[in-house]
Structure 1
Amino acid sequence: MKRFYFPERVWLQSAFLLLAAIPATLVAMEFDPRTVNDINIWIKPLKFYISTALHLATLALLVRFLPDRARGGKALAIVAAVSAFAALAEIAIIAAQSARGVASHFNNATQFDAVIYIFMGLGALLIIMPAIVLGVWFLRTPVTDKLTPGLKLGAGLGFTLGFILTLGIAGYMAQQPTGHWVDGTPTDAGGLPLFGWSREGGDLRVPHFFATHLMQALPLVGYAADKMFGSAGAAKRVVWIAAGLGVALTIGLFVQALNGQAFIG
């Protein structure tokens, strides 16, 4: 039986812990009518439970395609432990702020809230840190029977480009006095169903979403390309095209948001 290495175990278990909090949050939404930015205070924690769990599960799944010496090494174990702890702490802070009835993001109303927001920024950086580590590792790892050419390139580019774009967009968004809104009414009420993005003006959460989910999209494209095409060259070309389109789309949506235009009006 193959050994279940520490990085994938800690990421997967952390993802399950976040998903386990969803039922209690749904109950809280039902009985707690308080709002922040004109929507129920428990909606934000719920979104972060799902998105962070997906990110951690992606790390856990894809790290299994790396060689055993990388998966079992001390360096990756430290990266996994730090990022998993940061993820759980970040979500705990978001939930605690919601329980207080205040915003967790873009909240400088008091010195306490401002300090909390700074710590959340550091936590967010630690959560996505494994992406750049794994991205470089995938790009440098030779192709094997398990790590096929399209998957190798898709994971390498997905993690690397996703990290760079997410860091840039999130960093810019965090510095804005109006938060993620650009023009329009600063409210989450009446936002795009499921996502909550503004339909009246620009919303920086849109490019942030597409940047982050390159980490899932490009590995899937690479895996599918390996299955569909017989040659490594064809699979890699598909991944490069998908990566170019993904980056162009993300940058285009960032420019759209900066111009105060809604993703979907």
Structure 2
Amino acid sequence: MFATGLTLLFSGGCHFAFGVITGDDWSGPTSYRKPALFGISTGLTCISMSWVWGKLRIWSPDPVVVWLTSLALALEVTLITIQFWRGVPSHFNHATYRDAFIEVAMLVLIIIASLGISWLVFRSLLPGAFLTADDTHDPSRIPSTSMKLAIRAGFVLLWISLLMGFIISSIGWAEIQAGRNPEILPQAGVLKFPHGACLHALQTLPLAVFVWQFLKCRHVLLRTSLFASAHLTFLAYACWQTFSGLARFEPGVGGMILLGLTSLCLLSALWPSRWIDAVLPTQRLSEAGS
């Protein structure tokens, strides 16, 4: 899983560099954006999952799940990259039998990968899923209470993002059959917005916990909860904008409310410890031992 992530990151980074050097516009379905975005995004996800697996108690099906998930993600991104170099869209493309076969193959591969990720989500949510001092002599593999929350919240948001991917793909095909753009929900809703809104919470949440613990901030558990809530409200904002037919950052009243909640949760997570102490003088949520 880790090797797959590094390989995909390298591929995505190279395509990003080539796109910058050649002055690519990044907007079209055959631009460098596709292999760069999928390579970097999937690579980061693979590396994060390999890191999480190192903190879980091993179950007997894990090796098979790891290999199948890694292989499925690597092949999916490879097919997307092949379509780019062929100069044709990788998604919503049934122009030829070859394109249709690749589209179906990518669907099968992402279903396999989603099942593997769902297995890991299920594993992480179980009581006693993570390693303890009785399981390993390496303290770095034992997550704190805040890190456990960050991992679990990140996985749930990743799983929701995958679900949104299947939903928007179905809507996209319906839009094609209606003779409309499969990437836009009338009038200006960007269908991929909800899918990507919290796709990388598995990286941002644990990273935030690491920084807070490194800086010896207090109330890390509370901060993690607030930061996870900010991700969730931003996902709600993305869904509201898209399914209301609005552009990403042209919010109406409902969108402004959700953006306001997102900002409130985010700013509260970043409050200085002394401010939180003033609100929670008992420090019941300070998480002194984690």
- TM class, shorter-chain normalised? 0.7 to 0.9
Deviation at 1:56, TM superposition (A): 0.6
User: Hey, what does 1:240 align to over in structure 2?
Assistant: 225
Q: Does 1:108 align with 2:94?
A: yes
User: Hey, what does 1:96 align to over in structure 2?
Assistant: 82
User: Hey, what does 2:147 align to over in structure 1?
Assistant: 151
Q: Is the 8 A contact 1:15 1:57 kept in 2?
A: yes
In the comparison of the two structures, how many residue pairs are matched?
Answer: 231
CA distance in 1, matches of 2:23, 2:90: 17
Q: Deviations over 1:144-199 (max 9, x none)?
A: 46221011111012112321x21331111111233222236xxxxxxxxxxxxxxx
Q: Does 1:171 align with 2:154?
A: no
Q: Is the 8 A contact 1:132 1:160 kept in 2?
A: no
Aligned partner of 1:17 among 7, 30, 34: 7
User: Hey, what does 2:185 align to over in structure 1?
Assistant: 182
Unaligned segments of structure 1, at least 5 residues = 1-10, 185-200
Q: Secondary structure at the match of 2:198?
A: helix
Q: Is the 8 A contact 1:131 1:160 kept in 2?
A: no
CA distance in 2, matches of 1:35, 1:229: 42
* Alignment-mate amino acid for residue 253 of structure 1: A
CA distance in 1, matches of 2:23, 2:217: 53
What TM-score do the two structures reach when normalised by structure 2? 0.68
Q: Secondary structure at the match of 2:247?
A: coil
Q: Is the 8 A contact 2:9 2:39 kept in 1?
A: yes
Aligned partner of 2:194 among 207, 228, 251: 207
CA distance in 2, matches of 1:128, 1:57: 16
Q: Deviations over 1:6-65 (max 9, x none)?
A: xxxxx1111222233347646865899999974653331121111111111111222222
Counting only pairs closer than 5 Å after superposition, residues 1-12 of structure 1 correspond to structure 2 as 11-12=1-2
Aligned partner of 2:205 among 218, 223, 235: 218
Aligned partner of 2:37 among 36, 44, 47: 47
Deviation at 1:218, TM superposition (A): 2.6
* Alignment-mate amino acid for residue 147 of structure 2: L
CA distance in 2, matches of 1:101, 1:33: 17
Q: Percent of pairs identical after alignment?
A: 22
What TM-score do the two structures reach when normalised by structure 1? 0.74
Deviation at 1:255, TM superposition (A): 1.6
Q: Is the 8 A contact 1:155 1:215 kept in 2?
A: yes
Bigger relative contact order, structure 1 or 2 (CA pairs below 8 A, ≥6 apart)? 1
CA distance in 1, matches of 2:243, 2:41: 24
CA RMSD of aligned residues (A): 3.1
Q: Which moved more, 1:15-24 or 1:166-175?
A: 15-24
Unaligned segments of structure 2, at least 5 residues = 133-138, 176-180, 251-290
Q: Deviations over 1:96-141 (max 9, x none)?
A: 1112211001112234323322221222233344433333323322
* Alignment-mate amino acid for residue 105 of structure 2: F
